[in-house]
Amino acid sequence: MALAHLDALEAEAIHLMREVVAECRRPVMLWSVGKDSAVMLHLALKAFHPAPPPFPFLHVASGWDFADLIAHRDATVAAHGLDLIIASAPPEERAAITPFTASSDVYAETLLTNPLKAALAEHGFDAAFGGGRRDEERARAKERMVSLRSASQHWDPKDQRPELWNLYNLKCGPGESCRVFPLSNWTELDVWHYIAREGISIVPLYKAALRPTVERGGRLIVVDDDRMPPGEAPRLRMVRFRTLGCWPLTGAFPSEAADIEAIIAEMAAATTSERAGRLIDDGAAASMEAKKRAGYF
């Protein structure tokens, strides 16, 4: 009798985490504090129990993070005694660039991608766990669970190492590193079912609540602090988030789903894919692949 679906996915992820810890010199877990990160942390705690996860957790903080997310991060770190590394852009760049004034490309590169690359290089990490899933996006569907990055953090989709059985080639040359995706074979719904089954604590923003919102460019933006440029008055709406990024750039949507079971019911009836914004605006669906080649996680 084979393992049930979620048990098989859990075992596969734990096996991969242990392989990385056994073979790599200095692994790190990239940790956005979102729902996929919450599952990753839970798996890491299970994999190495009773010891704590034998690697640090790296959070890239843009300075425009939701206050609830930072609070959840710090509470989680304290609860589990995690080794947390916070990566941020230099103060002068953070002062110069805001999500309201800079283009989204410049914003993401300066406040997110560059600090990530700098932190990976500074600490000499040779393996970085990420929560990426193959169902998220068409380019990801072809990525290996262990994916080699060149010294300049580039990915070459046409020259990936074959990955057979559950044997992972984690050998890196000087400056090279591996990106490791233990949730590769999970779907978004699997993540929610697992959160429900295991009772995993998540940032409350995923659950519907009355929040002060404004409409910007067709999206509902939750006003998280007083840096919002003046304009329309915020309106209280019952909303929640499907993914979490920087608050001025992440759209909420109207929902009544205030607990995990309701979220799953809503998800099961979902009519929109997770990265809906990207799929609609780039048409060719090639932008993610271009970003990945350039080192975007």
Partner 1 sequence: MQRSLLRFITCGSVDDGKSTLIGRLLHDSGSVAADQLALLKAEAARTGSAPDLSLLVDGLAAEREQGITIDVAWRFFGTASRSFIVADCPGHEQYTRNMVTGASTADLAVLLVDASVGLKEQTRRHATLCRLLGIRTMILAVNKMDLVGHAEAPFRAIAAAFADLAASLDIDDVSAVPVSGLSGANVTEPSPLMPWFEGPSLLALLETAEPRGSELGPSLRLPVQAVQRLPDGTRALMGSIVAGTVRPGDAVRLLPSGKTSRIARILGSAGDRPSARAGEAVTVTLADTLDCSRGDVVASTDAAPEIADQFEATIVWMDEAALKVGRGYWLKLATQTVTATLRPPKHVLNVNTGEKLAARTLALNDIGVAELATDRPLVFEPYAQSRTLGGFVLIDKLSRRTVAAGMIHFALRRARNIAWQALEVTREARASLKQQRPAVLWFTGVSGSGKSTIANLVEKKLLALGQHSYLLDGDNIRHGLNRDLGFTEADRIENIRRVGEVAKLMADAGLIVIAALISPFAADRAMVRALLPPGDFIEVFIDTPLAEAERRDPKGLYARARAGAIRNFTGIDSPYEPPLNPEIHIITTEESAEAAATRIVDYLLARGR
Where do contacts with partner 1 occur on this chain (CB under 8 A)?
Answer: 1-11, 14-15, 18-19, 21-22, 45-51, 134-135, 138-139, 141-142, 157-158, 160-167, 169, 171-173, 184-185, 187, 189-190, 270-273, 276, 279-280, 283-284, 286, 289-290
Nearer to partner 1, 71 or 280 (CB): 280
Q: Which two tokens stand for residue 28?
A: 């790190």
Nearer to partner 1, 81 or 91 (CB): 81
Cross-strand bridge partners of residue 147: 179
Question: CB of residue 50 vs partner 1: minimum separation in angstroms?
Answer: 7
User: Of 46 and 207, which has the nearer Cβ to partner 1?
Assistant: 46
- From first CA to last CA, the distance across the chain in angstroms is 37
Give the nearer residue to partner 1 in terms of CB position, either 15 or 154: 15
Bridge partner residues of 220 (DSSP): 215, 252
Q: How far is CA 289 from CA 139, 140, 142, 280, 282, in A?
A: 6, 8, 10, 15, 12
Alpha carbon distance 195, 131 (integer Å): 14
Q: What is the 3-state secondary structure (H, E, C) of 167-227?
A: CCCCCCCCCCEEEECCCCCCCHHHHHHHHHHHCCCCCHHHCCEEEEEEEECCEEEECCCCC
Identify which of residues 7 and 105 has a Cβ nearer to partner 1 in the complex: 7
Task: Quote the least distance from Cβ 242 to partner 1, whole Å.
Answer: 12
CB of 145 to partner 1, least distance (A): 10
What is the C-alpha to C-alpha distance for residues 76 and 91, in angstroms, rounded to an integer? 26
Taking the complex as a whole, the smallest distance from the CB of residue 269 to partner 1 amounts, in Å, to 10
- How near is the Cβ of 146 to partner 1 at its closest, in Å? 10
CA 63 to CA 271: how far, in whole Å? 32
| Identity of the residue, 123 or 275, whose beta carbon is nearer to partner 1 in the bound complex | 275
- Closest distance to partner 1 from the beta carbon of 223 (Å): 27
